[in-house]
Amino acid sequence: MSDLTTTPRLVEAGTSNTSYIGKPTSRVEGPAKVTGTAKYSAEFNVPGLLYGYVVTSPITKGRITKINSAPVLALEGVVQIFSHENVPSLAWFDRNYKDDVAPGGSPFRPLHDAEIKFNMQPVALVVADSFEVARYAASVLEIEYEQEKFDTNIDLKRDEGHKPGSGKTGFMPPPPPRGNPNDALKNATHRIEGEYIHGAQHHNPMEMFATTVEYHQDGKITAYDKTQGVYNVQQYITKIFGLSKDEARVVNHYMGGGFGSGLRPQYQVFLAVLAALELKQSVRVSLTRQQMFSFGHRPHTLQYLKMGTNPDGTLAALHHHALHETSKFEEYTENVVNWSGMLYQCENVNLGYQVAELDVYTPLDMRAPGAATGSFALEVAMDEMAYAAGLDPLDFRIRNYAEQDQNMKKPFSSKKLRECYHEGAAKFGWDKRTPEPRSMREGNQLIGWGMAGGVWDASMQKAAAKAIFTADGKLEVLSAAGENGTGTYTIMTQIAAETLGLPLEAVTFKLGDTNMPEAPLQGGSWTAASVGSAVKNVCTEVGEKLLKLAQKMKGSPLKGASIDDVHFADGQIRLNTNPSEAVVIRDILPASGEEKLEVESSAMPNMIKQQPYSMHSHNAVFVEVKVDEDLGTVHVTRVVNAVAAGRILNTKTARSQVLGSVVWGISMALMEETVMDHTFGRYMNHNYAEYHVPVNADIHDIDVVFVEEEDDKVNPLGVKGIGEVGMLGVAAAITNAVYHATGKRVRELPIYMDKLL
Amino acid sequence: MIQQPTNTSGGATSLPAPPSAGSVTLTINGVQRHMQLAPWTTLLDALREYADLTGTKKGCDHGQCGSCTVLVNGKRINSCLTLAVMQEGNEITTIEGLGQPENLSPLQQAFIDHDAFQCGYCTPGQICSAQGLINEGRAHTEDEIRELMSGNICRCGAYVGILAAVKEVVDKQSSK
């Protein structure tokens, strides 16, 4: 690294040693993660820490009539029990509990009153001087309840759904019907229809929700909280507890998985802050794995599709209606059916979307919310339609390729789904498929090949970043973004290093702290676009300042050059016309006498540029399953996932995101379901032994193909986000492959063996 | 309905007192640690809450996920399923003992090279489990590694990378 400053190497522009974007750079935080030095929220062992343990309701609806606190408070080591009986008066208005992504309605207020609204509702927090005593004390806290009748079964609410309001950010009501969908269906050459169902699913990140609140001498607090948005949590707790922003700092450097579960502040942060402020002591509250099923889930959803084709195999009509659960206090919404109006060309479309209220906690965005659900139903129906029309499922999709977004009546800013189909199919060997079900086998194993695909939003939000360049040649960039495994640390380091032509080792990216410039929630696959653009902007501004200072250096070859006349590479600012005319960046501050340069900047979407376009990422998934003919067990032996998501910043971490998405799709198709016992209104399998997710032995060959896609409209970086699109179509492709293997059409997930026997 | 009925209403009877702490000496990563622990403290909580060795993770506290895997006398165990007092006299190795950021073990390096993690929370358990698997010496093929690494859940779904990382180190060790 240091030799760069003394013996400049001449490198052709564009091929410098400091061009990092698009390279498979290993995670810069890798050493911290593999050695256990990366600290998660429950791992800040501050002095004098107290431990809170949550008690949750065993009933689903009713009220608490008595809490027998005295014997528990008498136990040695127990410090306090917080419940609705002794919570101090907090913010009175509902709106103070509304976080940035709260849906419409009235948010749940922990320990607010005696009313029980859902099973496993937190009803008390027992605080003790050790985790063990808190856990024990919580297990002997006697609470009496009065029970009321409840509704937890969506099947009984089929006729009670209603169109939701527009209370939730990002929710788009389905477009009005187009064409003449009823007549077109009636006149179609071939028709299919069916109901598609999946149950509730819980995010279950490996790290359980936890908050360590450090109580400072001056009464201020630092909350180390598991969240996908430190600013969202800060505004939540400051509004509820009447704190100023200066009094409540929220930090999250590492998040042990989110998948949407940390988009909203969860109740442990409320409880930990409450206890710390009341006791004037540092407090940690960690949830148990069981309690990870007590807030937010992908909603149990029922979908109905009807489709018909014309004689030429084009879609004549498409009807897609969905109904899912929400809570009685908030109206959760997601975009389930809209995708069906834009993934394929069809003139006659009718989309409908309703929610029904149940006595459950409010559902919560979970990886590709709405699209994972909708694409499952749409893409299985497309497979059924292809079979009904006697067409190859891939050929059928290509025949119905949408050249524009018919929902919005706008062209796509870029769309390489056709390339996804072709490249994915070629890699998979789709042309060797025999179409008849049960036509491929290996001994006792029925082999099935299926495919599907999907579409996801390419979004960008406003984000800010700060950069500090110091005289030792080091660059620090800060933005309150999140790192939940997506690669934020790494890609931001790459962007910053490349923009200023610095070696990666000279750049440190810091995130997850309300003392840093604001970044949007870590969700919606928009972090790379949003924070990445802010990082690029702030580094560009640092570069401009460096250039000005460099021009003042004695004998500077850059005198008179504008920022467009130079480029930053290999630790130097070089003239474009003659790269050997350069200034070593590390020398600039020492020569100028400045100790550091500090710049803050932001980025926001260019609405004018974006407005004419529909901006989306796409994918196509090809799957091989082997189904044991006697046992009905399904193994996903081969997957090719071809993704078009704009520019890929880091092929290594992006590939991992798609690999993980495929694992999620396999999980959704074959394993995941939170099962409700409607007698009790309680999830039965609320633990990691009975809530099944894949283990290593369940995962076989997965190939990821990134289709090249240039897009100068979505954002200056040309990225579309990669965290969610890869999951789309996977569950459907598996379901379709199971049909091809067995001849059995499954329309309800997960595909357990009983559905195949 | 009464939750957790304890028959203590009215204060006539009191609840059993929590056990008191006693001296426990654990050998962790080659260092003897003297700790004051109540007998009901799990090895996992002793490491995280009393020894400030937070590299060992809690993912379920019930032996269902493998995040808390550590090595005891070279054998991999779920540290949430054993009490700290039961491990006196044993050699406990945690992720912190396998390598440090400036001095990574071959497995730790292979995990980085193959991007065998995303959020990193299950990673210490995966690596300790892989070290235990190598110590056992019975996994050689990809299928064997997949099977014998299946006690460790990775919700991010980094299994492809985990397999590649472990296989690389297993192959290197067996070629020695």
CATH of the domain at A509: 3.30.365.10
Q: Which residue of chain A is at minimal alpha-carbon distance from B8?
A: A71
Neighbours of A62 (CB within 10 A): 18
pLDDT tens per residue, range A457-505? 999 999 999 999 999 999 999 999 999 999 999 999 999 999 999 999 9
Structure confidence at residue B12 (pLDDT): 59
Q: Are residues B72 and B128 in the same domain?
A: no
Domain boundary at B98, B127, B155, which?
B98
Task: Tell me, yes or no, whether A531 lies in a domain.
Answer: yes
Quickly state the pLDDT bin for A12 (edges 50, 70, 90).
very low
- AA identity, residue A57: S
In chain A, pLDDT over 70 holds for what percent of residues? 98
Residue B6: pLDDT band by 50, 70, 90 thresholds? Answer: confident
Average pLDDT, stretch A550-569?
95
Q: Distance, in angstroms, between A465 CA and closest chain B CA?
A: 23
End-to-end CA distance of chain B, in Å? 65
For residue B152, pLDDT beyond 90:
yes
* Closest residue on chain A to B117 (Cα): A485
Which band of pLDDT confidence, cut at 50, 70 and 90, is reported for residue B11?
low
B85 with B26, same domain?
Answer: yes
Asked if the C-beta of A695 comes within 8 angstroms of chain B's C-beta atoms, the answer is yes
Last-in-domain residue among B72, B98, B124? B98
For testing the chain A interface, which of B37, B41, B71, B118 should be mutated: the one with the most A CBs within 10 Å? B118
Q: What are phi and psi of A697, to 5 degrees?
A: -70, -15
Inform me whether the pLDDT recorded for A655 exceeds 50. yes
B7 in a structural domain = no
Band (pLDDT 50/70/90 cuts) for residue A213 is very high
Cα separation, A518 vs A649, whole angstroms: 22
Q: Going by C-beta distance under 8 Å and a sequence separation of 6 or more, which residues neighbour residue A335?
A: A170, A171, A172, A369, A370, A371, A374
The active-site residue, picked from A325, A672, A724, A748, is: A724
**B127 interfacial to chain A (CB closer than 8 Å):** yes
- Whether the CB of A688 is below 8 Å from some CB of chain B: the reply is yes
Q: Is the pLDDT at A585 greater than 60, yes or no?
A: yes
Residue A563 within a domain = yes
Instruction: Report which of A457, A540, A584, A475 is spatially closest to residue A170, judged by C-alpha positions.
Output: A457
pLDDT value at residue A6: 34
Residue B117: CATH number of its domain: 1.10.150.120
Q: Domain total for chain B?
A: 2
- The whole-angstrom distance between A269's CA and the closest CA on chain B is 18
Q: How large is the average pLDDT for residues A712-729?
A: 95
Q: Which residue among A74, A653, A695 places its CB closest to the CB of B115?
A: A653
Q: How far does chain A reach from its first CA to its final CA, in angstroms?
A: 63
Q: Where are the alpha helices (DSSP H) in A181-221?
A: 181-186
Average of pLDDT values for B95-109?
98
Contact B155 A136 (CB under 8 A): no
Query: CA B50, B56, B57, B63: dihedral to nearest 10 degrees?
Result: -100
Per-residue pLDDT, A595: 96
Amino acid A641 reads N
What pLDDT sits at residue B101? 97
pLDDT tens digits, residue range A631-647? 999 999 999 999 999 99
| Residue B8 domain flag | no
A630: which 2 tokens? Answer: 């006697």
- Residue A454: helix, strand or coil by DSSP? strand
Number of H helices, E strands in chain A: 16, 33
Cα–Cα distance measured from residue B69 to residue B129, given in angstroms and rounded to the nearest whole number: 6
A696 in B contact zone (CB under 8 Å): yes
Q: What's the rounded mean pLDDT across residues A33-52?
A: 98
pLDDT at A482: 96
Inter-chain contact B158–A36, Cβ cutoff 8 Å? no
Contact with chain B for residue A122, Cβ under 8 A: no
Same domain for B26 and B94: yes
Beta-carbon separation of A207 and B119 below 8 A = yes
* B8 → closest Cβ in A142, A208, A286: A142
Work out the mean pLDDT of chain A and round it to a whole number.
Answer: 96
Question: Would you state the pLDDT for residue A519?
Answer: 97
| Interface residue B39 vs chain A (CB under 8 A) | no
- Does pLDDT of A580 surpass 80? yes
Q: Which residues contact A566 (CB under 8 A, 6 or more apart)?
A: A547, A558, A573, A574, A575, A576
Nearest CB neighbour to A697, from listed B52, B146, B161: B146
The two tokens of residue B111 are 């995990």
Of B5, B14, B54, the CB nearest to A36: B54
What range defines the domain where residue A596 resides?
Answer: 3-21+461-604
Domain match, B93 and B113 both = no
Does one domain contain both B52 and B76?
Answer: yes
Could you tell me if residue B165 is inside a domain? yes
For residue A481, being part of any structural domain is answered with yes
pLDDT at A522 over 80: yes
Nearest CA in chain A to B119: A485
* pLDDT-wise least confident of A47-51, A229-233, B9-13: B9-13
For residue A35, pLDDT beyond 70: yes
- Min mean pLDDT across A43-47, B23-27, B92-96, B170-174 is at B170-174
Of A140, A143, A205, the CB nearest to B119: A205
What distances in angstroms separate CA A756 from CA A103, A436, B48, one per listed residue? 39, 17, 45
Over residues B29-54, mean pLDDT: 98
If phi over 0 gives left and psi between -120 and 50 gives alpha, with beta otherwise, what is residue B129? Answer: alpha
- The answer to whether the CB of A430 falls within 8 A of the CB of A451 is yes
Q: What percent of chain B has pLDDT over 70?
A: 98
- Given this model, what pLDDT does residue A15 score? 63
The letter for the amino acid at A325 is E
Tally A–B CB contacts below 8 A: 248
What is the per-residue pLDDT across A55-102, written as a single tens digit (0 to 9) for each?
A: 999 999 999 999 999 999 999 999 999 999 999 988 778 889 999 999
* Number of Cβ within a 10 Å radius of residue B134: 20
What is the spatial distance between Cα A55 and Cα A71, in angstroms, rounded to a whole number? Answer: 16
Contact between residue A346 and residue A319 where contact means Cβ atoms under 8 Å apart: no
**What is the tally of structural domains in chain A?**
1
Looking at the structure, tell me whether residues B33 and B94 fall in a common domain: yes
Assess if residue B125 is contained within a domain: yes
Mean predicted confidence (pLDDT) in A574-602? 96
B10 confidence band (pLDDT: 50, 70, 90) = low
What is the residue range of B156's domain?
A: 106-174
Complex-level ipTM beyond the 0.95 threshold: yes
**What tokens appear for A156 in the block?**
């009984």
DSSP lists the bridge partners of residue A353 as A322
Per-residue pLDDT, averaged over B56-79, amounts to 98
- pLDDT 10s digits, A175-192: 999 999 999 999 999 999
Is residue A696 within 8 A of residue B129, CB to CB? The reply is no
Task: Identify the CATH number of the domain in which residue B50 sits.
Answer: 3.10.20.30
CA distance A332 to chain B (A): 25
Q: Flag whether pLDDT at A11 surpasses 50.
A: no
Whether residue B58 is found in the same domain as residue B119: no
Residue B121, chain A, CB below 8 Å: the answer is yes
Domain-embedded: residue B30: yes
Question: For residue A322, what pLDDT is reported?
Answer: 98
What is the structure's pLDDT at A723?
Answer: 92
Residue B1 in any domain: the answer is no
Q: Tell me if chain A has a CB within 8 Å of the CB of B15.
A: yes
Residue B9 lies in a domain: no
- Cα Rg for chain A, rounded, in angstroms? 28
* Contact list, A25 vs chain B (CB under 8 Å): none
* A697 vs B62, B150, B155: nearest CB: B150
Task: List A residues 472-491 in contact with B (Cβ-Cβ < 8 A).
Answer: 484-487
| A724 part of the active site | yes
Tell me the C-alpha distance between A281 and A674, whole Å. Answer: 37
Q: What is the share, in percent, of chain A residues with pLDDT greater than 90? A: 96
Q: CB-based contact (8 Å) between B50 and chain A? A: no
Which residues fall within 8 angstroms of residue A712, CB to CB, at 6 or more apart?
A718
Domain boundary among B64, B98, B132: B98
Say if CB A102 and CB A233 are below 8 A apart. no
Residues B57 and B29 in one domain: yes
> In this predicted model, what pLDDT tens digit does every residue of A121-130 receive, in sequence order?
999 999 999 9
The pair phi, psi for residue A603, each rounded to 5°, is -140, 145
